[in-house]
């Protein structure tokens, strides 16, 4: 089959493309960048396209049976996602897998989560056979904190409530399973590991893995946003502020029922967040040994 992938050059998408190619699928990746197109895995077909020009996406959909839709977080996310679905509707897709977020269910007032609510609604109304994947917080977000972690702090203001994590590689695996092995039943699945440490517990996991003290500095969401102001665009800084306020208020727990249901797309189960932390810490130690 030929599978069309949107977001194939990002964290989830790169893993997905590799899994699909290894399974023998023909993979076509939409990207806005010629340099990203040149950097795709061997065997993947690149098509230059832009969700801000949805009519120009029609060639990408030709002769495609299934598609994976990831719309990057941005102020234009809702418009881009719905417009892309409108083009997809013109083609007789057998299956579309949409990467949403579990915050779309728990906290749709978080801007990027609310955008996904609208895209999910358009997907359901449009009649395209589909599977919706709703991951919890990505474990890979912690990679952005390398400097702070090695300096002895976990500065993300998670609070005292459980916050569930999922490895992005498992999100890719779930998407590949849905695209290649499942009949589209218009279902939605939460994706998460059972691990849901709060702020203090997360710092303790990193401390043990790095074998050095890592503290949780008890930053408020407001203090985090103020510190990140110079590094993030205003819309994203505000988005994260609202998300962190939600984590501080109610966390992001998962239920055994949700974890049982996700075995349909992750039959071998997810990687644990603790496993991710230990793996990353070991890689950082090895890199440090190799540095002159």
Q: 40 falls in which pLDDT band (50, 70, 90)?
A: confident
Q: 292 falls in which pLDDT band (50, 70, 90)?
A: low
Tokens representing residue 52 in the block: 């801000």
Question: Do 5 and 16 contact (CB within 8 A), yes or no?
Answer: yes
Question: Do 68 and 7 contact (CB within 8 A), yes or no?
Answer: yes
Residue 15 φ then ψ, to 5°: -65, -40
Q: Could you tell me which residues come within 8 angstroms of residue 192 by beta carbon, excluding any fewer than 6 positions away?
A: 102, 135, 136, 164, 165, 166, 254, 258, 259, 262, 270
Residue 160 φ then ψ, to 5°: -100, -5
At 53-107, the pLDDT tens digits run 999 999 999 999 999 999 999 999 999 999 999 999 999 899 999 999 999 999 9
Domains in the chain, ordered, with CATH?
2-139+167-192+253-270 (3.40.50.720)
Q: What is the pLDDT of residue 190?
A: 97
Distance CA(85)–CA(96), nearest Å, equals 10
Question: Which of 92, 35, 80 lies closest to 55, judged by CA?
Answer: 80
Tokens representing residue 149 in the block: 């972690």
What residue has token string 């599978």? Answer: 3
With vertex at residue 194, the alpha carbon angle to CA 74 and CA 275, rounded to the nearest 5 degrees, is 85
Q: How many C-beta atoms surround the C-beta of residue 226 within 10 A?
A: 13
Distance CA(216)–CA(218), nearest Å, equals 6
Give the mean pLDDT of 16-37: 91
Tokens representing residue 215 in the block: 């503290």
Question: Which of 266, 277, 281, 275 lies closest to 135, judged by CA?
Answer: 266
Distance CA(175)–CA(167), nearest Å, equals 13
At 180-236, the pLDDT tens digits run 988 889 999 999 999 999 999 999 999 999 999 999 998 999 999 999 999 999 999
Residue 274's Cβ-count burial label (10 Å; 0-12, 13-18, 19+) is middle
- Residue 242: which region, alpha, beta or left (left: phi > 0; alpha: psi -120 to 50)? alpha
Question: Do 10 and 72 contact (CB within 8 A), yes or no?
Answer: yes
């Amino acid at each position: 089959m030929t599978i069309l992938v949107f977001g194939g050059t990002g964290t989830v998408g790169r893993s997905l493309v590799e899994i699909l190619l290894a399974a023998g699928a023909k993979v076509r990746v939409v990207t806005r960048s010629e340099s990203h197109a040149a950097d795709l895995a061997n065997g993947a077909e690149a098509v230059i396209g832009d969700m801000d020009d949805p009519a120009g996406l029609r060639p990408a959909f030709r002769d495609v049976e299934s598609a994976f839709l990831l719309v990057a977080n941005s102020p234009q996310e809702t418009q881009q996602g719905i417009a892309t679905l409108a083009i997809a509707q013109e083609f007789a897709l057998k299956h579309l897998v949409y990467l949403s977020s579990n915050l779309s269910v728990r906290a749709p007032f978080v801007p990027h989560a609310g955008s996904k609510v609208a895209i999910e609604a358009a997907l359901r109304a449009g009649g395209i056979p589909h599977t919706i994947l709703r991951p919890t917080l990505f474990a890979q977000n912690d990679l952005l904190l390398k400097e702070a972690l090695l300096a002895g702090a976990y500065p993300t203001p998670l609070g005292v409530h459980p916050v569930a994590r999922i490895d992005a590689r498992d999100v890719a695996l779930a998407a590949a399973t849905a695209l290649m092995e499942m009949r589209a039943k218009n279902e939605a699945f939460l994706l998460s590991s059972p691990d849901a440490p709060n702020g203090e517990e997360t710092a303790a996991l990193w401390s043990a893995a790095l074998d050095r003290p890592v503290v949780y500095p008890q930053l408020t969401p407001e203090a985090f946003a103020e510190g990140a102001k110079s590094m993030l665009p205003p819309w994203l800084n505000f988005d994260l502020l609202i998300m962190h306020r939600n984590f501080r208020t109610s966390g992001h727990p998962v239920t055994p029922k949700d974890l049982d249901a996700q075995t349909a797309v992750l039959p071998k189960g997810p990687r644990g967040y603790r496993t991710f932390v230990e793996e990353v810490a070991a890689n950082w130690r090895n890199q440090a040994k190799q540095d002159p």
